[in-house]
Amino acid sequence: MRMRPTLRWTPEEDLPPGTGDVEPVVGALRAGGVLVLSGAGISTESGIPDYRGEGGSLSRHTPMTYQEFTGSARARRRYWARSHLGWRTFGRARPNAGHAAVAALQRHGLVSAVITQNVDGLHQAAGSVRVVDLHGRLDRVVCLDCGTLGPRADLARRLEEANPGFAPVAAGINPDGDADLTDAQVGDFRVVPCARCGGVLKPDVVFFGEAVPRERVERCRSLVRDASALLVLGSSLTVMSGLRFVRQAAEAGKPVLIVNRDPTRGDRLAVTRVALPLGAALTSVTERLGVPLPDLTSRDSSFIS
């Protein structure tokens, strides 16, 4: 079963206003057992843009759908050319203060687990454990024919060999790792097949229009059931893949707290929405809780070795 992609959501005018008060978030975390649901907004301070915020990539870029990717060799060529170029930047992104705060809160037993809608691996790079990558990981590649999983770094080397000198200047990079390239810049970029069976390779991520694996959804639902509260960080909750967990928590009577500068599709279900930049908000939260942040400078936290 495939989901119809929801790319945009228009906020209602009468949504509850955001606040600058982080105390409700502090109170929920102090009790412990809080489940974090993060979106693209937590990675913007690492240089990875979000989809729907101010200057978000959807204003200039429509993500490729699963149906396009699987149905057209030309679409796959365009995707892999853009993704290969974007990987050079995306793969070197480092976790920021927001990721560091989540890792610190988890280490001190205040955060139980993390569900992330991001594919960048930055929560793990910052030291978080018990992380569910809801939409997969961009540092892995899967063959659609034989199912073999492999590291993105190996594919990157193969693509470099197949396309020597490929270095167009991109207009920007997107949350899914794509670089903005014109068809002329893509040119005759060569796509390489699965080294094992010769089949079609796809990043091990959930594309727009593709369903999240059922067992992954059930694992997340279990985490929601076990949590004392749900803390949403940097997500507009436009797509159902994340919104359903907010609805589940609210229906179970668990507090939902949101930190996001812009209104979200889940605001009516939340106790509060803190409309502050994530890094600053979460740093303030950890300070009030007396939780020191980890030193990220010593971590080798990039995908690219």
Known binder of ligand: residue 220? no
Q: Please indicate whether residue 135 is annotated as part of the active site.
A: yes
Query: CA 90, CA 120: separation in Å to the nearest integer?
Result: 8
Known binder of ligand: residue 278? yes
Angle between helices 97-107 and 278-289 (to 10 degrees): 30
Pairing of strands 111-116, 34-38: parallel
Nearest to 172 by CA among 285, 47, 75: 47
Known binder of ligand: residue 173? no
Pairing of strands 256-259, 272-274: parallel
The SS3 of residue 256 is strand
Known binder of ligand: residue 301? no
Residue 305 buriedness (CB in 10 A; 0-12 / 13-18 / 19+): exposed
Known binder of ligand: residue 67? no
Known binder of ligand: residue 176? no
Known binder of ligand: residue 146? yes
The answer to whether the beta carbons of residues 190 and 163 sit under 8 Å apart is yes
Nearest to 111 by CA among 232, 236, 248, 5: 232
Known binder of ligand: residue 45? yes
Known binder of ligand: residue 49? yes
Cα of 296 vs its chain's centroid, Å? 19
Known binder of ligand: residue 175? no
Known binder of ligand: residue 59? yes
Of the listed 61, 84, 123, 135, which one is catalytic? 135
The answer to whether the beta carbons of residues 245 and 265 sit under 8 Å apart is no
Known binder of ligand: residue 51? yes
Known binder of ligand: residue 46? yes
Known binder of ligand: residue 40? yes
Query: CA 254, CA 185: separation in Å to the nearest integer?
Result: 50
Known binder of ligand: residue 236? yes
Residue 37 gets the label, from left (phi > 0), alpha (psi -120 to 50) or beta, of beta
Q: Which positions are catalytic?
A: 135
What residue numbers does the annotated binding site cover? 39-59, 117-120, 143, 146, 194, 197, 234-236, 278
What residue numbers does the annotated binding site for NAD(+) cover? 39-59, 117-120, 234-236, 278
What residue numbers does the annotated binding site for Zn(2+) cover? 143, 146, 194, 197
